[in-house]
Amino acid sequence: MAANKKLKLTLMRSQHGRGANHQACVAGLGLRHRHHTVTVEDTPAVRGMVNKVSYLIKVEEV
């Protein structure tokens, strides 16, 4: 992974009714509500959270 790589994350599905760990991952990524988009650095920690909640978010490489 390059030092300057970034990911654009968009919350596509609601986090209500999901497990506490999945809600914590969404919050940790900085996503607040549906269709909210954030840009984060591509690190192993972020990739782990993205993999855990991949069914809720859309991921694009910037």
Q: Is the pLDDT of residue 2 over 60?
A: no
Supply the mean pLDDT for the chain: 95
| Mean pLDDT on 27-40 | 97
Whole-angstrom Cα distance, residue 35 to residue 38? 10
E runs forming strands in 1-62: 6-11, 37-41, 57-61
- Given a contact cutoff of 8 angstroms between Cβ atoms, the answer to whether 18 and 11 are in contact is no
Question: For 4-17, what is each residue's pLDDT tens digit?
Answer: 899 999 999 999 99
Give the chain's length: 62
The pTM (predicted TM-score) of the whole model is 0.89
What domains can you pick out in the chain, each with its CATH number? Answer: 6-61 (3.30.1390.20)
| Mean pLDDT on 31-58 | 97
| Amino acid symbol at 6 | K
Q: Is the pLDDT of residue 33 over 80?
A: yes
Q: Is the pLDDT of residue 1 over 80?
A: no
